Structure 1
Amino acid sequence: MEPRMNIALWVVAALLAVAFLMAGSMKVSRSKEKLASSMGWVEDFSAGTVKFIGVMEILGAVGLILPAATGIATVLTPLAATGLAVTMVLAAIVHVRRGETSNIGVNIVLLLLALFVAVMRFGPQSF
């Protein structure tokens, strides 16, 4: 395992984990009405669905770090990255459908970072 690539993967995974932990925590802890002021897309979904998305983002963030850090069920790390990548594809689709194309840039960046972690942790930099 190339040490510099391993470090880069840890840094990317940590940044993704922080981003998704923050986003997921907001969705879980705030009401749909409060979220709607900054996230217009929540109007298209039930409060339960918004909370579900938040929980999945939190679990994905934990899955990026905890299995790799503990050495237990390390296959969960690239699986979590894959799940977060799928989440970003779905988020981009929602933004396109709503005509919010200016929001897609963040989705694409997070998607590419998550795919990087998934591909590398499934492949040459697996645990």
Structure 2
Amino acid sequence: MNVVLWILAGVLAAFFLAAGLGKLSQSKEKLGANANMKWTEDFSARTLKLIGTAEVLGALGLILPAVLNIAEILVPLAATGLAVIMVGAIITHGRRKENQPIIINAVILILALVVAIFRFGPNSF
């Protein structure tokens, strides 16, 4: 099970690192030009940077504490934080009646919850 959790954490980390860096490196206008990012119209540029920062920190928190063997409790906490971000994403897309992103967000939410539950419990470090 440990290998499966590492793979899930790696996939989640790669996803959130890419998503977060995209939000940090691009302007609100450029993000909004993407058909899949129309939701950015509902948020200020500062909020988008905050979301991007949280995603990058969450991605790092999924991997670095366990690899460096320092404060491993941060791994399930990071997974929980990323799950909260996905709940927010689902709510945002639901309000905008955007069904396709909700499915993707729900899958990512489930993966983050699996990592959080198992790293808090039976497969902690």
Q: TM-score by structure 1 length?
A: 0.96
Residue identity (%):
60
Report how many aligned residue pairs link the two structures: 123
What are the residue-to-residue correspondences of 1:1-127 with 2, within 5 Å? Answer: 5-38=1-34, 39-127=37-125
Give the secondary-structure state (helix, strand or coil) at the position aligned to 1:125. Answer: coil
Q: TM-score by structure 2 length?
A: 0.97
Give the secondary-structure state (helix, strand or coil) at the position aligned to 1:113. Answer: helix
Measure, in 2, the Cα distance between the counterparts of 1:102 and 1:79: 28
Superimposed CA distance per residue, residues 51-73 of structure 1 (whole angstroms, 9 cap, x where no aligned partner): 10000000000000000111100
The two structures, once aligned, show a CA RMSD in angstroms of 0.5
Give the secondary-structure state (helix, strand or coil) at the position aligned to 2:106. Answer: helix
User: How far is the alpha carbon of 1:37 from its aligned partner?
Assistant: 1.6
Uncovered stretches (5+) of structure 1, i.e. residues with no partner: none
* One-letter code aligned to 2:53: V
Uncovered stretches (5+) of structure 2, i.e. residues with no partner: none
Measure, in 1, the Cα distance between the counterparts of 2:91 and 2:118: 25
